[in-house]
Amino acid sequence: MDLPKTPSFTLPGKRALVTGAGRGIGLAAAAALAQAGAEVTLAARTLADVEAAAAALRAQGLAAQALSLDVTDLTRMQEELDATEPFDVLVNNAGTNRPSAFLDVTVENFDLVMNINVRAAYFVAQTVARGMVKAGKGGSIIHISSQMGHVGSARRSIYCASKWAMEGFSKAMAIELAPHKVRVNTLAPTFIQTPMTKPFFEDEKFRASVVGMIKLGRIGEVEDLMGAIVFLASDASALMTGSSLVVDGGWTAE
Ligand code: NAP
């Protein structure tokens, strides 16, 4: 009897780019992809961070290199990425948050968050997708969105706007790129312990309110996302595009 065979969760021979890979979720995504066999380029503004991360991966016998890149500098970003071999996988992760009461939101903070979470993420995806289409081998684009791309939350009107925008362009990209076998999905995590969220959780009341919303009763760790990253990057998700993988401990179930 011929039993169905589980598609591969490994990524041998694949080239992956992770933006914002110096720490937090991006670093975990880079480690996950490298451990699955991909050759990973880790990009961030702070070259020392990505160099240290790439060196740590290489020390484990994995394939990794660092790239100094500010994704908001669109001209330079396009030049840098056009100068590399095309990628098979993009983890479009660089992003930020400036929590603020809606009535107090400043134009400066609105522009700062939208500039990186929407404008830069959109054009990084376009640049990498052009390379994928030209290479003609297909690919997987993973946008790091958020549960806040599916719901609303107090003090997060800019962040929600940015991640709902990402969910929107991800779906539109998926439709246009499907004929080229380029899959486009988002990963939508709940609150994860990272350098970005560390200051938020110093407020004990806020921390308790977050844990109260996560039905599994704990804040996420970056390791909670690593399996999802490998799944979305690999043939295991071959029929998945235009979708969102929500890893939220049950936050949005209610
Ligand atoms: P983080 O700890 O602040 O790390 C962000 C990374 O992005 C750093 O490596 C940073 O390095 C890089 N980065 C920032 N601005 C950049 C730029 N202009 N160009 C290139 N790289 C840049 O953030 P995180 O918590 O891991 O979050 C990563 C992503 O996950 C974001 O898109 C965030 O919205 C999303 N997310 C986070 C959570 C959470 O709870 N942590 C939940 C859902 C979604 P440099 O400063 O050196 O450039």
Measured from the CB, is residue 20 less than 6 Å from ligand 1?
yes
Q: What is the mean pLDDT of residues 67-91?
A: 98
* CATH at 115: 3.40.50.720
Domain annotation covers residue 99: yes
Domain annotation covers residue 4: no
Q: Distance (Å, rounded) from C-alpha 192 to C-alpha 219? A: 6
Domain that holds residue 219: 15-247
Measured from the CB, is residue 25 less than 6 Å from ligand 1?
yes
Q: Which pLDDT band, with edges at 50, 70 and 90, does 83 fall under?
A: very high
Q: Distance (Å, rounded) from C-alpha 199 to C-alpha 15? A: 34
Q: How far is the CA of 216 from the centre of ligand 1 (A)?
A: 24
Domain annotation covers residue 91: yes
Domain annotation covers residue 254: no
Domain annotation covers residue 3: no
Q: Which pLDDT band, with edges at 50, 70 and 90, does 105 fall under?
A: very high
Mutate to test the pocket of ligand 1, among 17, 18, 19, 25 (most ligand atoms within 8 A of CB): 25
Q: Which of 159, 191, 231, 251 is catalytic?
A: 159
Q: Distance (Å, rounded) from C-alpha 222 to C-alpha 202? A: 18
Domain annotation covers residue 167: yes
Domain annotation covers residue 44: yes
Mutate to test the pocket of ligand 1, among 17, 18, 19, 23 (most ligand atoms within 8 A of CB): 23
> How many CB atoms sit inside 10 A of residue 52's CB?
15
Domain annotation covers residue 197: yes
**Number of independent structural domains in the chain:** 1
152-168: pLDDT as tens digits: 999 999 999 999 999 99
Mean pLDDT, the chain, rounded, equals 98
